Amino acid sequence: GAVVSQHPSWVICKSGTSVKIECRSLDFQATTMFWYRQFPKQSLMLMATSNEGSKATYEQGVEKDKFLINHASLTLSTLTVTSAHPEDSSFYICSASASTGGRGYTFGSGTRLTVV
């Protein structure tokens, strides 16, 4: 089955530094990946759609200069949280699919970011 690997699973960084999170499709190619954010005891909120070879599409209210997304290959999308602050501490999750159709979207295991 489709496997999406996300790395790191957790990271602690100092305020003002940048953190990169990787999302890889291990056994399929993904032209589109999605990045979500989840605060404790809250639901997943879509941040952006990552398109291979083109610019990401950000949801309303998400700062594109703060959350940099790069989808340079069909198996890798990265999310970089720039100049991180404590309020950026959250659980970040990606999803990807080998084909269109809601059934096909597999989620990564998530990255817990803590900014101190």
Partner 1 sequence: QKEVEQDPGPLSVPEGAIVSLNCTYSNSAFQYFMWYRQYSRKGPELLMYTYSSGNKEDGRFTAQVDKSSKYISLFIRDSQPSDSATYLCAIGTTDSWGKLQFGAGTQVVVTP
The contact set with partner 1 (CB under 8 A) reads 4, 6, 32, 34, 41-46, 49, 91, 93, 95, 97, 100-103, 105-110, 112
State which residue, 16 or 21, has the beta carbon closest to partner 1: 21
In whole angstroms, how close is the CB of 51 to partner 1 at the nearest point? 11
Give whole-number Cα distances, 55 to 17, 72, 112, in Å. Answer: 23, 10, 25
State which residue, 28 or 107, has the beta carbon closest to partner 1: 107
Closest CA to 113 of 8, 27, 30, 26: 8
State which residue, 14 or 103, has the beta carbon closest to partner 1: 103
State which residue, 43 or 54, has the beta carbon closest to partner 1: 43
Q: Which DSSP symbol is given to 9?
A: S
Closest CA to 112 of 4, 7, 5, 3: 7
In whole angstroms, how close is the CB of 110 to partner 1 at the nearest point? 5
In whole angstroms, how close is the CB of 64 to partner 1 at the nearest point? 17
Q: Are 94 and 36 in contact (CB under 8 A)?
A: yes
Give whole-number Cα distances, 4 to 14, 50, 105, in Å. Answer: 28, 14, 9
In whole angstroms, how close is the CB of 16 to partner 1 at the nearest point? 26
